[in-house]
Structure 1
Amino acid sequence: MQCQICQERPATIHVTEVREDPDVASANHLEHHVEHQHLCSACAGQLELPFVAPTKKSLTNPKHMAEIWKVIQATAQKQYTQAAITCPECGMSLTEFRAKGRLGCARCYEVFSPQIGPLLERIHNATSHSGRLPGQDVSARDRTRQLDELKRRLGEAVEAEDYESAAALRDQLREIQAPDER
């Protein structure tokens, strides 16, 4: 088997990383994501793994075992710290969210954003709402999107000091906006 990084030397070090997968967590148990890497000793040395070239002697060396123990403790502490985060509004914890699969209130999105941001990105391809709004018809939604796009382009034109384009965009905005929005 070849090294997955350099694709040149044979892989002599095999790293298995097991991570909790909150996307697949159910109420009764947590799913784990397992990732395998097959590396040569040179590439593994550049990754600063806890120990690189295990031998019979190094596996019984207390120094290497202490390094492994430190990594395990640091990982457990990080998981414990993340699980202890709670929303000040509704009191929901990250562990509770992972078990239920639902957030407790709107503030939870802010409190848990570092943990749920990647999840939302994978599910919706965005971290902010861009879908339909309740009670809004298609033409109103299209008009709103067109106004937002014109405002964005107007801001860019002003920032670039392209005042002619900015004036034209301003005029387009005025034409589209309803009389009560001016």
Structure 2
Amino acid sequence: MKCELCNNKATVFYTQAVQGGQKKICLCENCADKSGLTDPGAFSMVDILMDETPEQAQPVMVAEVAEACEHCGFTLEDYRKVGRLGCSQCYTAFLGEILPMLAKMHHGIKHEGKVPSGMADSLALRKKLAAMKKDLDSAIAEENFEAAVKLRDGIKELEAQVS
């Protein structure tokens, strides 16, 4: 096997458990020493997976980065050492640091979640129904009874489909 950083013969094989799965990296002895793999306190797998050795790492600034999270006190230096954030507010505080890495690691920077197959249509109908009910309340408040009648009838039809 070859080193994933310099293509020399890999002699160090590192595996890290990540969210129920595993991340594996193969390094030559020289790259393992440079990345701090032999010193667990200095090793950052995030840097290696991002194709950066500690000497090459240069943060790409997208927005101003806070020195510390106001919510939990976690610092940017803590993030760089540990490779994970202290709380959900850290994402906002360190956005300029995190955004370039997310763009490299994932297919995009926006999480849209997943809807189980077969549920997407039902979810869309429920959202439309909620919007129509809100519009009905507005139409009644504005005394626009013609629109209210149309919305009421549309709501009845959608409720029959959802049930």
| Bigger fraction of residues in helix | 1
Answer yes or no: same fold by TM over 0.5.
no
State the TM-score, normalized to the length of structure 2. 0.37
State the TM-score, normalized to the length of structure 1. 0.34
